[in-house]
Amino acid sequence: MTIKGTSDSTKQRRLRLGMVGGGRGAFIGAVHRMAARLDDKWELVAGALSSNPSVAVASGADLGLDADRCYSSWEEMAAREAARDDRIDAVSIVTPNHLHFAISKAFLEAGINVICDKPMTFTLDEALELVEIVRKSKLTFVLTQNNTGYPMVRQARAMVRAGMIGKVQIVRTSYIQDWLTTNLEATGQKQAAWRMDPKFAGTGGAIADIGVHAFNLAAFISGLELEAVSADLRSYGAGRSLDDNANVLLRYKNGATGSLWASQCAPGHNNSLTIGVYGDKGSLEWNGEVNDYLTYNEYGKPPQTITRGGPGADAVAGHATRMPAGHPEGYIEGFANLYSNAAEQIWARIEGRDPDALALDTPTVEDGAAGLKFITACVESSKNNSLWTSASL
């Protein structure tokens, strides 16, 4: 088995990475940094790590960045990095949602590739504008919908495309947590505070934070395009402006139907993401908390459990695998696959090769726009007594 990081690609220099957000007190920034380091394809060299200039500079020092590349704002970082001979190859954007668009736009216009956390933008209009900016720039844009990086998720996608479950008819997905069961945001907890504040999160709460992951996972595996939603968004936490629970019915353009449940107030669930995709010949089921396993049910035959790195795991899963079967991989590795995919695409551009020829399963700017359309449609539907609402771009 080929272990990640040992291929010929390591003969190339490490790509230079900058980061916006993710400084002291942040959660997801550290996850991105660990993921970027895992396959030895990236080196963090620059950052504007907080909206507070003093915290931004101090956070850069914490990470050992050179003082002249610890920027006090992302605007300064974009301008100064673009002017350097050793400019960053890509920027990683790990800020609250309301900043994603402006930062992405600035770095793309500076000629710098972008790796952006989800949801891609604050509004649907921003998402559609960003699609055009990326297409015009001809640069790499990777959306870190990290669940698409799991090997067995990629295998499930390949099996659906190979016709192994027949025509997809039903999709069932859920992403449920319990960390907002109490009004954690009232305590000043940073992660809860911005996620439940429309000024930073946008119009959606749980539906935008984790519901978009479930939506994206369903689209990624099934290959289906969403047509319409009927959504019921609720806020069970007293005084909350944004939803902490969402129940959504789905209609797809091929005639398939589905359901999605996203909740951050479901006691007993830490981070439970599950999906089932059901066709007229069989089904596939996956659970993110035991992500090394994929259940394949061919109609009329005993269920099969396919193990990452084991018998039945195909080349698609193998490309995203580092450890042998029985040596668990997980959350960080999912992100790491996206960072490695981004590096492969950027190197292809640097060397004059076609990045599209790599056929990597990496979420794109178009996927980000689809996610914003989903969020927007769910919010609109819920405000209209769960009226079926178009979710098609």
pLDDT, tens digit, for every residue of 109-144? 999 999 999 999 999 999 999 999 999 999 999 999
**What does the alpha-carbon distance between residue 333 and residue 37 come to, in Å, rounded to a whole number?**
11
Residue 46 resides in a domain: yes
Question: Could you tell me the strand order of the sheet in which 257-263 lies?
Answer: 304-307, 293-298, 282-287, 272-279, 168-176, 257-263, 245-252, 226-234, 389-390
Residue 351 resides in a domain: no
Query: What CATH number corresponds to the domain at position 143?
Result: 3.40.50.720
**What does the alpha-carbon distance between residue 374 and residue 265 come to, in Å, rounded to a whole number?**
21
- Could you tell me what percent of the chain has a pLDDT over 70? 97
| Range 244-273 average pLDDT | 98
pLDDT at 202 over 80: yes
Residue 344 resides in a domain: no
Residue 25: band (very low, low, confident or very high) from pLDDT cuts 50, 70, 90: confident
* Residue pointed to by tokens 């107030």: 265
pLDDT at 273 over 50: yes
pLDDT at 5 over 50: no
pLDDT of residue 100: 98
Q: Are residues 50 and 139 in the same domain?
A: yes
Residue 335 resides in a domain: no
Residue 360: band (very low, low, confident or very high) from pLDDT cuts 50, 70, 90: confident
pLDDT at 3 over 70: no
Residue 6: band (very low, low, confident or very high) from pLDDT cuts 50, 70, 90: very low
| Range 11-39 average pLDDT | 94
Q: How far is CA 108 from the centre of its chain?
A: 19
Helix (H) or strand (E) holding 278: strand 272-279
- Could you tell me what percent of the chain has a pLDDT over 90? 90
Residue range of the domain that includes 378: 150-326+369-390
pLDDT of residue 328: 85
pLDDT at 171 over 80: yes
pLDDT at 9 over 80: no
Mean pLDDT for the chain overall: 95
pLDDT of residue 12: 84
Tokens representing residue 261 in the block = 């449940």
| Range 251-279 average pLDDT | 98
- Least confident window among 134-143, 338-347, 354-363: 354-363
pLDDT at 186 over 80: yes
pLDDT of residue 218: 98
pLDDT of residue 336: 97
DSSP-H helix ranges across 92-197? 100-109, 124-137, 151-161, 190-195
Per the structure, the count of domains in the chain is: 2
Q: Are residues 89 and 224 in the same domain?
A: no
Contact in structure between 196 and 205 (CB atoms under 8 Å): yes
Residue 353 resides in a domain: no
Q: Are residues 130 and 247 in the same domain?
A: no
Q: Are residues 287 and 157 in the same domain?
A: yes
| Pairing mode of beta strands 226-234, 282-287 | unpaired
Residue 257 resides in a domain: yes
